[in-house]
Structure 1
């Protein structure tokens, strides 16, 4: 148990910090190495390690990643970002449009892929229009994080929750979508308040001397045929989620198969945009968590928590736990950490909504609270745009607190 607990702590330390201190081992590397050490040392057998991996979640995530990647390589994300940026409206209206577009796309596609594809374009557009990029990038970031909680397919953690609790697409959406979508006007209001009088770009930011300036990165050429094909497949996948009882994984994999068979786009180009690191991260965490569960320690901890009135099957308690935990170890690791202990809940839809909303609505409190925040921060760094921890939290913390309060009120009425 001592080795298992030590490996578990080190792995989740890497989840929190971003790497294993003292080593060049990132989150994915730490999870994979931790799992391999536990298997090699006999703390968990190879058979139990394989059994610990939830193939349903991995298959669902992979399939939907392929669908989202197809939108990327077809130039759809670039075209949408450019169209939004070209609209001739005032900054407040442009911010509202950007928040709405970001929210809808994050709810229907993978929020992280949307952020990777569209953040550089929005950044360039703001600089070209002599607009302060910070309110627009923060609005894009917050909206993507919050609205992603609305559907199963909005984020990887939603998929993990839905598969663990056996939630239907519409059941999850009915429980989680209202507060997720109502958060978007809050994002707009808080950012408008924080950036009043600061919409114009006062000075052109200077990119760091080390490294190339990414402003000249060419946009992906828009391919109407591939975009239409991908849209049809995506709509068919969502319709199958809603109107059939087929396992989500099989539906997503079927859609991915159709997209990978193409006469115009190579399968390698699509698969290049699938986040293999995230899939490996999940594999590693499944094994590490299973090894710790086998020691009996988690049950002892849960008993202690129940003794102080904290029950992981209680949606309100879970909302608070996830809001804190996801800002320590990250969204996906936080959900992975509690997933083994949420089965058999009396109100699975309310509990699933609490987990999704807790991770999503808290993820804009700090700059490293989500991968989207990290992507936006890194893009600003490359271009010399000053997005500090304090600047991010100035708008993000009140937005997250207000939206978490809304989420708590919504969860209470679901009881």
Structure 2
């Protein structure tokens, strides 16, 4: 039996289960089909099939809830073979959203679509069939109409719709399976967006539920769980999220992006400018936010200058990761390491300077050599409107830059606790006559903060089992003593690409013994993020932005840059730390 189960857009994760009525697959394999629900021209997040409460989807993987932003972001996660699009306006008798589907066709012209648009008769069928495979939904059709339309369009998909146990449509449709097409969907509206069936959990949900379960079964008391959370790290992370929000709402990132994209430089020099600017911004502000702001305008500028955008976008992702390794505020894992080990901000900056600068030079040299003689785009770019960006609010931007600069100075030249200074800076920015605190706090990545809390609790419980100590002893017996820099360096690289860098750092922090171990852990865990697309959120953001511009960066193309960049930067780091140690 050939079966298809959707994924991707979490609102509709339970929506489809396709059964091939005629050509059963012998291996019983599944095909993942993402589902997109459209309402009012935007992709919406479903809630228990109650369409009155659907709201535009929000994700840090895409700039907006427009379908031309959301779908490329999904494609950046995995290359699915088809997409299911439900026009909820049409299904409820309102005007179709064909222009929205046309916008999707422009950014993903070769992606096959299944389109559920409330088709009721032959007149409705044609415009849908021109754009993809029509889905005939029992909730909008009589049985006789369904049979007529299937006769006219045998390739259509039949959706047999339910709400709970109640069939939405005529029961006679179920009595005549001989008239069904090859592809039939069984869909239960009551389960859409309900979280029933396969659990809709990301890494934050898993970490949080793990922490709750550990307290619930008595592995930790609530007091022990609370004490396991490293509050200084959370306060520092939160404070810099507020500062990043100030800069974004003030239009700073858009302003920098447009100025960078407009530089009248030759391709190799423009590449160097992109690498340098992105690395500098990522050392102070979130590399994810920097990539989100810079990527669209950079791709647009390259297209207008008839330059191949791919080398520049790859440089953006790699330099954001490398640049964020320069300081103890450049990324979450560095904040954690710096706070837990109480590392000196200035000493770490000195330790990281050579690996970071060497890494940036390596990124430029590698990408420039690969692009030599191939800087120009192979085809004429499509010239849409130029990226406008948000208007620069000079006062709000100046406030944010002043606070950020003051904090860096405090970190460099005083022993004042970093979390206290940062919290005061964030508090000053929240006191604004123009930017509402609700708007500022809405930009905070609360999921990341909750992820940290969950991981702190889980990590404490895991340490209490003694398994960590036993694993360290076993590795030492096998010739891999984690107390030594070289094994710690290698294990950090491997773990960072298996469980991601933050969980890896939490597991390995207790193994740090010498003065060099803190910088080693910070640099190795961060620089490992360039190896694979999924190695860092920054990589995923850039790949998704590229797809929105019709630029394909698959894992092979990324690996041509990411793998050597990772190996070279890690080699530079290992050599430098060996000399320093």
TM-score computed with the length of structure 2 as normaliser: 0.64
Greater RCO between the two (CA within 8 Å, min separation 6)? 1
Q: Distance in 2 between matches of 1:190 and 1:271?
A: 40
What do residues 21-41 of structure 1 show as CA deviations (whole Å, max 9, x unaligned)? Answer: 953211111111111111112
**In the TM superposition, what is the alpha-carbon distance from 1:309 to its structure 2 partner?**
3.0
Q: Distance in 1 between matches of 2:443 and 2:485?
A: 35
Structure number with the higher helix fraction is 1
> SS of the counterpart of 2:372?
coil
Q: 2:272: which partner in 1?
A: 96
Answering whether residue 533 of structure 2 is matched by residue 367 of structure 1, we say yes
> SS of the counterpart of 1:150?
coil
What do residues 341-380 of structure 1 show as CA deviations (whole Å, max 9, x unaligned)? Answer: 43xx232xx1111111112222111111111111111212
Answering whether residue 390 of structure 2 is matched by residue 220 of structure 1, we say yes
Q: Distance in 1 between matches of 2:227 and 2:425?
A: 26
Q: Distance in 1 between matches of 2:557 and 2:514?
A: 41
Q: Distance in 1 between matches of 2:250 and 2:479?
A: 51
> SS of the counterpart of 2:577?
helix
Q: Distance in 2 between matches of 1:324 and 1:406?
A: 17
Q: 2:316: which partner in 1?
A: 140
**In the TM superposition, what is the alpha-carbon distance from 1:70 to its structure 2 partner?**
1.0
> SS of the counterpart of 1:269?
helix
**In the TM superposition, what is the alpha-carbon distance from 1:204 to its structure 2 partner?**
5.9
TM-score computed with the length of structure 1 as normaliser: 0.89
Query: How large is the RMSD of aligned CA atoms in angstroms?
Result: 2.0
Answering whether residue 429 of structure 2 is matched by residue 274 of structure 1, we say no
What do residues 266-321 of structure 1 show as CA deviations (whole Å, max 9, x unaligned)? Answer: 11222222111111110111111111111111111111122223233322222221
**In the TM superposition, what is the alpha-carbon distance from 1:54 to its structure 2 partner?**
0.3
Q: 2:464: which partner in 1?
A: 294
> SS of the counterpart of 1:287?
helix
Q: 2:576: which partner in 1?
A: 410
What do residues 67-123 of structure 1 show as CA deviations (whole Å, max 9, x unaligned)? Answer: 122111111111111111111111111001000001111112221221222222222
Answering whether residue 285 of structure 2 is matched by residue 117 of structure 1, we say no
Q: 2:428: which partner in 1?
A: 258
Answering whether residue 217 of structure 2 is matched by residue 49 of structure 1, we say no
Q: 2:362: which partner in 1?
A: 186
Answering whether residue 227 of structure 2 is matched by residue 61 of structure 1, we say no
> SS of the counterpart of 1:154?
coil
The question of whether the paired residues in 1 share the 8 Å contact of 2:297 and 2:387 is answered with no
> SS of the counterpart of 2:530?
coil
Q: Distance in 2 between matches of 1:127 and 1:28?
A: 37
Structure number with the higher strand fraction is 2
Q: Distance in 2 between matches of 1:326 and 1:278?
A: 17
Instruction: Select which of 305, 314, 318 maps to 1:129.
Output: 305
Q: Distance in 1 between matches of 2:503 and 2:550?
A: 31
Instruction: Select which of 319, 327, 347 maps to 2:489.
Output: 319
Q: 1:346: which partner in 2?
A: 514
Q: Tell me, which stretches of 5 or more residues in structure 2 are unaligned?
A: 1-76, 78-196
Q: Distance in 2 between matches of 1:204 and 1:70?
A: 38
Q: 1:397: which partner in 2?
A: 563
Deviates further, 373-382 or 405-414: 373-382
Q: 1:334: which partner in 2?
A: 504
Correspondences of 1:67-86 after superposition (within 5 Å) = 67-86=243-262
Instruction: Select which of 378, 388, 399 maps to 1:229.
Output: 399
Q: Distance in 1 between matches of 2:433 and 2:483?
A: 49
Q: Tell me, which stretches of 5 or more residues in structure 1 are unaligned?
A: 1-17, 207-212
Q: 2:543: which partner in 1?
A: 377
**In the TM superposition, what is the alpha-carbon distance from 1:65 to its structure 2 partner?**
1.3
The question of whether the paired residues in 2 share the 8 Å contact of 1:150 and 1:178 is answered with no
Greater gyration radius: 2
**In the TM superposition, what is the alpha-carbon distance from 1:338 to its structure 2 partner?**
1.6
Answering whether residue 473 of structure 2 is matched by residue 307 of structure 1, we say no
Correspondences of 1:145-160 after superposition (within 5 Å) = 145-160=321-336
Deviates further, 223-232 or 126-135: 126-135
Distance 1:303 1:311, change over 3 A: same
The question of whether the paired residues in 1 share the 8 Å contact of 2:304 and 2:381 is answered with no
Q: Distance in 1 between matches of 2:522 and 2:311?
A: 25
Q: 2:142: which partner in 1?
A: none
Q: Distance in 1 between matches of 2:499 and 2:381?
A: 32
**In the TM superposition, what is the alpha-carbon distance from 1:324 to its structure 2 partner?**
1.5
Q: Distance in 1 between matches of 2:414 and 2:433?
A: 30
What do residues 37-76 of structure 1 show as CA deviations (whole Å, max 9, x unaligned)? Answer: 1111212211111111000100011111111221111111
